Structure 1
Amino acid sequence: MTTYAPATGRTELVRTFLNRTYSWMAAGLALTAGTAYLTAGNLALSQLVSGLTWPLIIAQFALVLGLSFLADRLSPVVAGILFMVYAGLTGLTFSSLLFVYSPAAVGTAFLTSAGAFAGMSAAGYLTKRDLSGWSRFLLFALLGLILAMVANFFFHSGAASFAISVVGVLVFAGLTAYDTQKLKLMAQSGLQGRAAESAAINGALVLYLDFINMFLFFLRLLSGDRD
């Protein structure tokens, strides 16, 4: 059996684990983007999806809950399939964005989100500061954000919509750094084999959610969406 120096072994475990995590995340994003593009280009399919908006949203929500709470019980194969199904369903619902926003706005928001995500993820990975203290603050900020969005759904305030988008970007930027460090520490704990693959898929889902939510808020900001 090969023996590693402790530091070398941890570094290799972290590198392998995060490579798998980001590979799954990238595959999910690619499937979402491809599905959205193909759906928007097919009038009959886009009309069908439009009529199934709520069932699709409920299915997405159920998949996220299943992957999050059953991660330790699911085999990597099942977890991977469920994650890709979720990414595909998200692509179906995101196809409507291509009818609401211009291709330039969507492309700019995506590139901006990619840059912000990469920067915050790198910060979370490289920082020596313990970000675990952010957990409670980010949780309350996220809950407050959701409540503000629900309230603004009824009041339709342009100023509130702008503020919500700014706060949304900041919250999910913070979550990106926090989640990246959390995944790094998880890898350092010595995860290997089947457990590591399942954890990588679950980690990909977490980072995927950080990215797409940041993308949605950037899209609203950069397109001047004021409800």
Structure 2
Amino acid sequence: MRNDDFGHDDYRSGYLDYEEINRIVAQKMTGCILWMVVGLLVSGISGFLVMTNVEIMSLIFGTNLYYVLFFVELGLVFMFSMMLMKASVGALRGMFLLYAVLNGITLSIIGYIYTGESIIYVFLGTVVYYACLAAYGYLTRDNLGRYLPYVMAGLIALIVVSLLNIFMKNDYFYWIMSYAGVIIFSAFTAIDMNIIRHRLTDYAMEDNTMLDRIQIAGALNLYLDFINLFLYLLRLFGKKR
């Protein structure tokens, strides 16, 4: 995903014209999106392989292994954030791909909850909707990062209510949270895309390693935005078996 055209001499020259900065940002942004797509493909493949193997499905979802995988996923995201400026870019990419594999395994359960046809339709709809949100976040001249604290507050509230509803099992709250989840992760998609572009622009004159770190970190954020948006849309429009 690195472009050898961007040597250290270019960055250390102390000046890059506007067109060159835009070229660097566009190329790194493309790489960021490609890594996100790779992550989705890895999750899809790992999820499909697990879903089509009854023995593995029974092992994962019939025992406590599912909860182990879930906490390993959380640990990976935490480790990724902690090691973002310390680990090598290759290690960060490895953590991202490992997370994508584990997430695909844990999400394979949706194949037994929803019909395959509805999963495909919702997935394709999510792709189109997500692409529109991402395009807006990238192209707008507004700094969407200023809205991040409000969206984060909404996410925290969503998590708290979701945890409470595990015990309450209230259908009314279930549907409210589903719509709220779509709104929140729609906002996250546009905001994250906007933030990534601004960060790449700000660090365009730094060395290529810094840009690669921003690229893979951005890919993880966009991946998480897509997955969560897809899951909430599936709750609203998916057809259960």
TM-score by length of 2: 0.89
- Of 194, 204, 208, the match for 2:219: 204
Given that 1:74 and 1:198 are in contact with CA atoms closer than 8 Å, whether structure 2 keeps it comes out as: no
Instruction: Please tell me the residue identity of whatever aligns with 1:207.
Output: L
Deviation at 1:69, TM superposition (A): 2.2
Letter in 2 for 1:188: T
Query: Is 1:138 the equivalent of 2:151?
Result: yes
- Tell me whether 1:176 sits opposite 2:212 in the alignment: no
Gaps of at least 5 residues in structure 1 are none
Identity across matched positions, percent: 27
Contact 2:115–2:239 (8 Å) recurs in 1: no
- 2:228 aligned with 1:213, yes or no? yes
- 2:174 corresponds to which residue? 161
Whether the 8 Å CA contact 1:60–1:89 is kept in 2: the answer is yes
- How far is the alpha carbon of 1:152 from its aligned partner? 1.3
Deviates more, 1:191-200 or 1:105-114: 191-200
State how many pairs are aligned.
225
The answer to whether residue 49 in structure 2 is matched with residue 34 in structure 1 is no
Alpha-carbon shift at residue 198 of structure 1 (Å):
2.0
Letter in 1 for 2:106: T
In structure 1, the partner of 2:209 is 194
User: In the TM superposition, what is the alpha-carbon distance from 1:154 to its structure 2 partner?
Assistant: 1.2
1:224 Cα deviation from its structure 2 partner: 6.3
Determine the C-alpha separation between the residues in 1 that align with 2:82 and 2:125: 31
Normalising by the residue count of structure 1, what TM-score does the alignment of the two structures yield? 0.94
State the Cα distance separating 1:127 from its structure 2 match.
0.8
Query: Is the partner of 2:145 in helix, strand or coil?
Result: coil
Task: For residue 73 of structure 1, give the secondary structure of its aligned residue in structure 2.
Answer: coil
CA deviations on 1:83-112 (whole Å, 9 max, x unpaired) are 100000001101111011110121122112
Q: 1:192–1:109: structure 2 CA closer, same or farther, 3 Å change rule?
A: farther
CA shift at 1:132, angstroms?
2.1
1:176-213 deviation line (CA, Å, top 9, x unaligned): 11110100011111144222112211110011011100
Q: Which runs of 5+ in 2 are unaligned?
A: 1-8
- Which has the larger displacement, 109-118 or 92-101? 109-118
Residues 34-64 of structure 1, C-alpha deviation per residue, up to 9 Å, x if partnerless?
Answer: 1111111011111122121100000000000
The answer on whether the counterparts of 2:200 and 2:214 sit within 8 Å (CA) in structure 1 is no
| Partner Cα distance (2:140, 2:201) in 1 | 15
Q: Name 1:126's counterpart in structure 2.
A: 139
> 2:216 is paired with a residue of what secondary structure?
helix
Q: Residues 113-166 of structure 1: CA distance to partner in whole angstroms, max 9, x if unpaired?
A: 111211111011111112122011101100111111111111111121111011
Instruction: State which of 149, 153, 156 in structure 1 corresponds to 2:162.
Output: 149
Q: How does 1:71-90 map to 2 (within 5 A)?
A: 71-90=84-103
The 3-state SS of whatever aligns with 1:128 is coil
State the Cα distance separating 1:5 from its structure 2 match: 5.7
RMSD, aligned CA: 1.5
Q: Could you tell me how far apart the structure 1 residues matched to 2:239 and 2:150 are?
A: 28
CA distance in 2, matches of 1:83, 1:66: 11
Contact 2:118 2:239 (8 Å CA) reproduced: no
